[in-house]
Structure formats: C-alpha cells, structure tokens
C-alpha cells in the first residue's frame, strides 16, 4: 500500500512539474496549444498548463552579443579583416512575431545576416587606407543607423555596434604605410618650399627698405652740409690736446701723426 502511495505521489509530482513553466527575469513566455501560438506574452513567474495539449515557448529579451570576424570589401575592391560586435535584444511585445517568423534561431536567421550585410555595405564606401585610419565612432554610427532600418521593424533593438579592430594583409598594410609616408614627405617638402619663399620675400622687403633708406640719406646730403660737417671735424681736431699736423686744402683734412714729424 505504501508503495502505491509513493508511486501516486511521484506521478503527481511529475505531472505538476511537467505542467508548470517558470519564466525567469530577462525572458518572456508564450503558450502554444495544439500547435497554435498565443500572442499574449507571459512575464516572469510560474505558470501552470495542460502538458498534454500545451507547451510554453521562451524567448530571451536580455541584451546579447553577436560577435563577427568578417572579410569586408573596400572601395577599390580589396579585402580587409574586421572584428565587429553587435549588442541587441528582442522587444518583449514583438517576441511572438519573432518566434513565428524566425523560430528560436532568429539570431543567425535574421540578425547576423543583416548585420554582416550592413557591415560589408558600409565598408565598401571607404578606401582601404580610410578604413585603417577611420574614426571608429563614425563607422559604428553608420552601421548602427543602417542596421536599425533593417531589423527594428522585425522586433529587434540595436543597443550598440562596436568596431574592435580592422586588420589589413601585410602587403596592403605596407603599401598604405608607404603611401602615407610619401604624402607626409610631400607635405613636408611643400612646407619647406613655402618657408623658403617666405624667407625670400622677407629678404626682398628688407633689401628694398635698405635701398629706400640709403636713397633718402643720399638725397638729404647737400654740398653745404658736407662742408659744414668737415669744418666741425677740423674744429674738433684743432682743439684736441694731442699734437698732430693737419694738412688740408680747405675741403679734406689729412692728419699726420706727430711722431712722424721731425
């Protein structure tokens, strides 16, 4: 008798377990009876149902990461490697439609398919060297905005797009490095040439200024002024305490050192 009671208790517990679904935080549930999915969603908690005709389907509504390593094209037809992550989640109200349209493998079926296509489409707008030196935030924003247009109406929210790295083949990387170096050298040469031109202009302006100054001085010197300055020089020599012999024609003095006079 005890064995039968234990058996009945075990069957009852098994039945209760099979007829109870636990919806945890970050999930929504949907009852499917006789193959028909009910559109009303179940929030977190415990729910009882008839296990013979009903099942409970669960959809994760937490933010999840879809990480991709992609070979993406560039504007000039080359291929580079990009590591990009997508953070997204399923809208709670859209969970029944997501399950009906894409099943439980919705990430691969719709999200990542669109994500990879958008990344390749955006990368094809840029040259390889632009991808190498691009502002990551700009690249992420372009992917984010275009992806929203593709999957938001289908019940998915794009939380963030994260560009982790862009890797070029060694030969392409070297080619881009060489080109950037050549461009830097060209800019440096242009700077040097411009600097030399500016220096030449400065020297020309300075020479013109000296020329004007000398012309001004020459024009201001008259014969009378020159004679007067000569007189002032002779006056200074005469009054000087040093003994000396001065020979002049009245115009230009010639000084003979007194040590040479005997």
Sequence spans of domains, the chain: 2-59, 64-168, 181-220, 223-260
224: left (phi over 0), alpha (psi -120 to 50) or beta: alpha
Name, in order, each residue with C-beta under 8 angstroms of 221's C-beta and a sequence gap of 6 or more. Answer: none
pLDDT of residue 261: 41
Q: What does the pLDDT read at residue 180?
A: 72
Say if pTM beats, i.e. exceeds, 0.75.
no
Nearest to 94 by CA among 84, 82, 106, 86: 106
Rounded Cα distance between 80 and 172, Å, is 9
Q: What pLDDT shows up at residue 10? A: 46
CA atoms within 13 A on the CB side of 95: 23
User: Rounded to an integer, what is the distance from CA 184 to the centroid of its chain?
Assistant: 19
Can you give the pLDDT of all 262 residues of the chain as single tens digits?
556 554 444 444 444 455 677 888 889 988 888 878 887 888 877 877 777 778 888 899 999 999 999 999 888 888 888 999 999 999 999 999 999 999 889 999 999 999 999 999 999 998 877 877 777 888 899 999 999 999 999 999 999 999 988 887 676 666 667 777 777 788 788 878 888 888 888 888 888 877 777 777 666 656 655 666 666 666 665 566 665 555 555 555 555 555 444 4
> Given this structure, which CATH class describes domain 64-168?
alpha beta
Phi-psi region at 60: left, alpha or beta (left = phi > 0; alpha = psi -120 to 50): beta
């Amino acid at each position: 008798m005890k064995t039968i009671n234990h058996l009945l208790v075990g069957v009852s517990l098994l039945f209760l377990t099979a007829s109870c679904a636990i919806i945890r935080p970050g999930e929504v549930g949907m009852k499917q009876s006789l193959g028909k999915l009910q559109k009303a969603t179940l929030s977190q908690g415990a729910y009882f149902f008839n296990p013979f005709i009903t099942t409970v389907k669960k959809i994760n509504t937490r933010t999840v990461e879809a990480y991709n390593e992609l070979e993406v094209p560039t504007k000039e037809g080359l291929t580079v490697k990009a590591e990009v992550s997508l953070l997204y989640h399923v809208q709670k109200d859209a969970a029944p439609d997501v399950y009906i349209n894409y099943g439980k493998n919705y990430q691969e079926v719709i999200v990542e398919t669109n994500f990879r296509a958008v990344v390749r489409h955006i990368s094809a707008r840029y040259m390889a060297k632009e991808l190498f030196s691009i502002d990551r935030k700009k690249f992420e924003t372009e992917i984010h905005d275009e992806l929203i247009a593709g999957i938001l109406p289908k019940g998915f929210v794009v939380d963030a797009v994260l560009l982790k790295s862009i890797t070029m083949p060694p030969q392409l990387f070297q080619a881009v490095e060489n080109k950037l170096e050549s461009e830097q050298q060209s800019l440096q040469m242009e700077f040097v040439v411009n600097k030399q031109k500016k220096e030449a202009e400065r020297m020309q302006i300075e020479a013109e200024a000296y020329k004007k100054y000398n012309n001004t001085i020459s024009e201001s010197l008259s014969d009378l002024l020159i004679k007067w300055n000569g007189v002032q020089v002779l006056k200074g020599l005469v009054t000087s305490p040093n003994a000396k012999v001065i020979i002049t024609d009245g115009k230009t003095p010639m000084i003979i050192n007194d040590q040479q006079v005997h």
